[in-house]
Amino acid sequence: MRPLDPRLLRAAPAARRPVAALAVVGVLQGLATVATAFALAALVVAAVRGEPLREASLSLAALLALRAGLAWTAERTAARAGARVTAALRTALLRHWLTVPAERRPDPDRGGVLAAQGVAAVEPYAARFLPALVSAAVVPAAALVALLVVDPVSALVVVLTLPLLPAFAALIGMATRDDTARRWASLSALSGHFADVVRGLPTLVGYGRAERQAEVVGEVSRRHRTATMRTLRTAFMSSAALELLASISVAIVAVTVGLRLTHGTVDLGTGLLAILLAPEAYWPVRRVGAAFHDAADGAEAVADVLAAIDGDPAVADGAATGRSGVERSGAGRSGVDVRLEDVTYTYPGAASPVLAGLDLAAGPGLTVLTGPSGCGKTTVLELVAGLRTPDTGSVRAGRTHLVTQRPFLPAGTLREVLRLGSDADDPALWDALRAVGLDGFVAALPAALDTRVGDDGVGLSAGQRARVVLARAMLSDAPVLLLDEPTAHLDPAASALVHDVLARLAERRTVLVVTHRPELVARADRHLTLAARPVEALR
């Protein structure tokens, strides 16, 4: 893992400023820490010699107060950086996914987990690990430079012993690596067992297996304890060894200083400074090691997210990131032409194309598209909407609004649901509701447009849902409306109402509808049928 992946700052520019703030505060804290050692040494010397303490006291108090202020700023900055970096990364990821066609997104389960929990692991990384990293870089360097100026002999001792720490750590790591890797693998299986069976508890209870599992839970937990302790013993031993090494190094400095003091080759102030500065050269290294383990998840999440954004071949090639392959033209409310030429499309992972060499054209007015189940009608709509990119061929269409078979109806108020994809005002919303015959129903609701509907529009009947999404389509200013079986599950009365609305919409826009309803086909300006191969206009 790289401590700080520079791609993070490229992919999420909003993360630059908080990370820079962390660095600045970290450097100031490091310098203040070293300065405090000087003030403390001066105070001790003054106290020991019975000199007036006023000046030394004041400078120590001032420096500690400065550090107190910096500590305040550091905590605030770290918290803000954690929140900002996480938000910037998550926004960059989701913005990317909202820009690319379906083939370039992971499956919904993986995508959802990465965006929600995966990115969340970045917060401790940014809020805890990065500051520790900064102080590990700054404090030993500053302490060493100060030592070099004040007492070169002690500085030499530190320079000679300091590299022992990473070298020793690497040695321990090498000696235990295979063992540790093997143990971690079995450990993660053991530690995941409880979470796994608990999540499956309803299934186990359903099939009468839960009570027997209690014994397995106890047994696995005991094995987990034994295995974890074996691993931890090695980990604790190596960190104890490192701390011991650091302690001995500091003790060497202290003893050499003591001996030189007895010979009078160095004065008290210098000696005190040396023993106060020496530990600062060692401890941050150890601290960053502790934070490193906490941050490993975060660094991994950063890598995953960057892979999802940067690893996308189209982005890497420098190609347009938009939903490419589709020419967008025409705004406003007049209909425009939709044209597919020689389009072939294969679903990711599928062996053969669902559409091959398809030509299709639709102009302003109502066009219906029919065909046997599974022949690719929905795919045609998704290609026109730019949700998918054809393997070959070209798609030309204006901006589109696609009403899918499962239209998106999030939890929220009716107003929020209707305004998805447009910024219509209330009068426009009521106009649209009137057009779909829902104005009376909504007006009669106690909260009217502020009525909350649940996920998937629960609480509305199927016919009401269909009309709500139709009203939403009307509010969109896209010149091309695409609808996928809008009346498949509606009773005849509700269907007739929806068909009327579609016919009226087609007076001003290009409306392309996939349907099985003969009544709607009868009202169409154009009827296309999709067989396995090219489409012909029947009318």
**Binding residues for other proteins restricted to 37-56, rule: CB under 8 A:** 40, 43-44, 46-50, 53, 56
- Contact status: 215 vs other proteins (CB under 8 A): yes
The single residue among 1, 145, 461, 507 that binds other proteins, judged by CB under 8 A, is 461
- Contact status: 538 vs other proteins (CB under 8 A): no
- Contact status: 214 vs other proteins (CB under 8 A): yes
- Contact status: 509 vs other proteins (CB under 8 A): no
The single residue among 452, 504, 533, 539 that binds other proteins, judged by CB under 8 A, is 452
> DSSP of 53-113, one letter per residue?
-HHHHHHHHHHHHHHHHHHHHHHHHHHHHHHHHHHHHHHHHHHHHHHS-GGGS--HHHHHH
389-418 residues in contact with other proteins (CB under 8 A) are 399, 401-408, 410-411, 414
- Contact status: 492 vs other proteins (CB under 8 A): no
269-288 residues in contact with other proteins (CB under 8 A) are 271-272, 275
- Contact status: 358 vs other proteins (CB under 8 A): no
Tokens of 257: 């200083």
Q: CA-CA distance, 252 to 260, in Å (whole number)?
A: 12
Q: CA-CA distance, 71 to 532, in Å (whole number)?
A: 70
Q: Which stretch binds other proteins (CB under 8 A): 166-174, 187-195, 332-340, 356-364?
A: 187-195
- Contact status: 265 vs other proteins (CB under 8 A): no
Counting other chains too, the contacts that 47-55 makes at CB distance below 8 Å and 24 or more residues apart are 48/268
- Contact status: 234 vs other proteins (CB under 8 A): no
Give me the residues paired with residue 327 across strands.
Answer: 396
Q: Which stretch binds other proteins (CB under 8 A): 152-160, 183-191, 518-526, 529-537?
A: 183-191
The single residue among 221, 324, 329, 394 that binds other proteins, judged by CB under 8 A, is 221
- Contact status: 6 vs other proteins (CB under 8 A): no
Contact between residue 414 and residue 453 where contact means Cβ atoms under 8 Å apart:
yes
Residue 39 DSSP SS3? helix
Q: What is the 3-state secondary structure (H, E, C) of 450-511?
A: HCEECHHHCCCCHHHHHHHHHHHHHHCCCCEEEEECCCCCCCHHHHHHHHHHHHHHCCCCEE
Q: Which stretch binds other proteins (CB under 8 A): 3-11, 129-137, 155-163, 213-221?
A: 213-221
110-169 residues in contact with other proteins (CB under 8 A) are 110-117, 119-120
Q: How many residues sit close enough to other proteins to count as binding (CB under 8 A)?
A: 156
The single residue among 13, 173, 258, 357 that binds other proteins, judged by CB under 8 A, is 258
Please, how many CA atoms are within 13 Å of residue 358, restricted to the half-sphere of its CB? 31
- Contact status: 316 vs other proteins (CB under 8 A): no
Tokens of 381: 């709509």
Instruction: For residue 402, give the nearest of 388, 385, 387, 379 by alpha carbon.
Output: 385
The single residue among 207, 352, 440, 493 that binds other proteins, judged by CB under 8 A, is 207
For 165, residues 6+ apart whose C-beta sits below 8 A from its C-beta are 242, 245, 246, 282, 285, 286
Residue type, 15: A
- Contact status: 496 vs other proteins (CB under 8 A): no
- Looking up tokens 């009525």 gives 451
- Contact status: 16 vs other proteins (CB under 8 A): no
- Looking up tokens 């063992």 gives 179
Q: Which stretch binds other proteins (CB under 8 A): 133-141, 469-477, 503-511, 529-537?
A: 469-477
Q: CA-CA distance, 362 to 365, in Å (whole number)?
A: 8
Taking the complex as a whole, the smallest distance from the CB of residue 466 to other proteins amounts, in Å, to 11
Give me the residues paired with residue 108 across strands.
Answer: none
- Contact status: 225 vs other proteins (CB under 8 A): yes
Residue type, 108: P
Indicate the residue among 43 and 144 with the shorter CB distance to other proteins. 43
- Contact status: 24 vs other proteins (CB under 8 A): no
Contact between residue 346 and residue 383 where contact means Cβ atoms under 8 Å apart:
no
Indicate the residue among 225 and 533 with the shorter CB distance to other proteins. 225
- Contact status: 254 vs other proteins (CB under 8 A): yes
